[in-house]
Amino acid sequence: MTATIEQLEAPKPEALAAVLVAKTRPPRPSALSASITFGWRAVLKIKHVPEQLFDVTAFPIMMILMFTYLFGGALASSPTEYLQFLLPGIMVTSVVMITMYTGVAVNTDIEKGVFDRFRTLPIWRPAPMVGYILGDLLRYVLASTTIMLVGLVLGYRPAGGFTGVVLAVGVLMAFSFAFSWVWTMFGLLMRSEKSVMGVSMLVLMPLTFLSNVYVNPATMPGWLQAFVNVNPITQLVSAVRGFMSGSADAGALSWTLGYTIAFTVVFGALTMRLYNRK
3-state secondary structure of 112: coil
Which helix (H) or strand (E) is 92 found in, with range?
Answer: helix 79-98
Question: Residue 121 or 201: which CB sits closer to other proteins?
Answer: 121
Question: Residue 28 or 194: which CB sits closer to other proteins?
Answer: 28
How many chain residues interact with other proteins (CB under 8 A)?
A: 45
3-state secondary structure of 12: coil
Contact positions with other proteins (CB under 8 A) in 88-117: 112-114, 116-117
Contact flag: residue 13 with other proteins (CB under 8 A): yes
3-state secondary structure of 211: coil
- Helix spans in 155-231 (H): 161-189, 193-209, 222-230
Least Å distance, CB 266 to other proteins, is 24
The single residue among 50, 74, 77, 120 that binds other proteins, judged by CB under 8 A, is: 120
**Taking Cα atoms as reference points, which of 245, 103, 72, 114 lies closest to residue 182?**
103
Integer Cα distance of 97 and 201 in angstroms = 9
Integer Cα distance of 191 and 201 in angstroms = 16
Contact flag: residue 191 with other proteins (CB under 8 A): no
Name the region of 25 (left: φ>0; alpha: ψ -120 to 50; beta: rest): beta
3-state secondary structure of 247: coil
Stretch that binds other proteins, among 13-21, 59-67, 93-101, 202-210 (CB under 8 A): 13-21
The single residue among 31, 45, 80, 228 that binds other proteins, judged by CB under 8 A, is: 45
Backbone angles phi, psi at 182, to 5 degrees: -60, -40
Q: Pattern 137-156, binding to other proteins, x per CB under 8 A?
A: --------------------
Question: Residue 163 or 192: which CB sits closer to other proteins?
Answer: 192
Least Å distance, CB 167 to other proteins, is 32
Least Å distance, CB 30 to other proteins, is 9
Side-chain half-sphere exposure of 229, counting CA atoms within 13 A: 10
The single residue among 58, 62, 70, 121 that binds other proteins, judged by CB under 8 A, is: 121
Question: Residue 47 or 221: which CB sits closer to other proteins?
Answer: 47
Number of neighbouring beta carbons within 10 Å of residue 219: 8
Number of neighbouring beta carbons within 10 Å of residue 204: 20
Contact flag: residue 49 with other proteins (CB under 8 A): yes
Q: Which residues bind other proteins (CB under 8 A)?
A: 2-3, 5-6, 8-13, 15-23, 25-29, 33-34, 37, 40-41, 44-45, 48-49, 112-114, 116-123, 127
